[in-house]
């Protein structure tokens, strides 16, 4: 199953690879070079298909837990000052996505979308300390009665050139369902209440929509 954001790119890739494969087969007479080029085209196609895959996730709905919004590795767990929305200290948990991870963004909790804003910006590498405030990004806040407000921020990286955000203010969010997509990018930050119970550790691999990041 592939994400809808990849349909156009996948179709174009199929067409280009088919054309190139015909050209290679017709004009490259060296068997080894012919074979190498065809294998390279096939590997490229597999990488594109893998990038836009959208596997079904089994989210256990729970208003008292925050699930990971994306697949990847936990790279930050620290208390920070959140300047855009809360304007106070929060616990930040950041998940870094490599190019081979699923890049679907999912709602970390159920509730009402209280805030959603896009920020144009730079394309610093995702682990750069200033990427959270200077890179292209979207900020979304979801609120429910049990957990309160949770902010998550999609951040573009050096390869990411487009962030897709489906979250609209006042919309109803369901935990684990699609809330966006980061094309060829790269990191999501969560900002949680200070008294929340973090359930992950640094360098732990997590799955979007399934791995519990925090709990009341």
Known catalytic residues are 186
Token pair, residue 213, equals 């990041």
Strand order in the sheet with 162-165: 104-106, 178-183, 162-165
Round the CA-based radius of gyration of the chain to a whole number and report it.
Answer: 19
Task: Give the Cα separation of 148 and 169 in Å (integer).
Answer: 16
Q: Determine the straight-line distance between the first and last CA of the chain, rounded to whole angstroms.
A: 34
Contacts of 67 (CB under 8 A, 6+ apart): 59, 106, 108, 109, 175, 176, 208, 209, 210, 211, 212, 213
8-state DSSP, 61: -
Phi, psi of 98 (to 5 degrees): -85, 165
Reduced to 3 states, what is the DSSP secondary structure of residue 213? strand
The span from the CA of 159 to the CA of 182, in Å, is 10
Give all strands of the β-sheet with 137-144 in edge-to-edge order: 172-173, 111-119, 137-144, 148-155, 187-192, 88-96, 72-82, 205-206
What gap in Å lies between CA 166 and CA 172, rounded to an integer? 11
């Amino acid at each position: 199953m592939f994400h809808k954001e990849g349909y156009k790119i996948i179709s174009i890739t199929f067409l280009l690879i088919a054309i190139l494969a015909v050209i290679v087969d017709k004009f490259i007479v060296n068997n080894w070079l012919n074979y190498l080029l065809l294998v390279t085209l096939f590997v490229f196609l597999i990488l594109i298909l893998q990038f836009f895959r959208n596997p079904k996730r089994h989210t256990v709905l729970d208003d008292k837990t925050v699930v990971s919004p994306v697949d990847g590795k936990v790279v930050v767990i620290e208390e920070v000052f959140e300047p855009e929305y809360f304007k106070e200290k929060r616990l930040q948990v950041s998940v870094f996505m490599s190019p081979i991870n699923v890049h679907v963004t999912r709602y970390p909790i159920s509730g009402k979308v209280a805030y959603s804003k896009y920020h144009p910006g730079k394309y610093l590498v995702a682990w750069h300390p200033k990427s959270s405030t200077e890179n292209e990004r979207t900020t979304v806040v979801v609120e429910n009665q049990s957990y309160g407000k949770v902010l998550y921020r999609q951040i573009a990286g050096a390869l990411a050139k487009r962030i897709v955000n489906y979250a609209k203010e006042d919309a109803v969010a369901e935990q684990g369902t699609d809330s966006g997509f980061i094309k060829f990018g790269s990191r999501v930050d969560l900002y949680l209440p200070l008294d929340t119970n973090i359930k992950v550790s640094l360098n732990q691999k997590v799955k979007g929509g399934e791995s519990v990041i925090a709990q009341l």
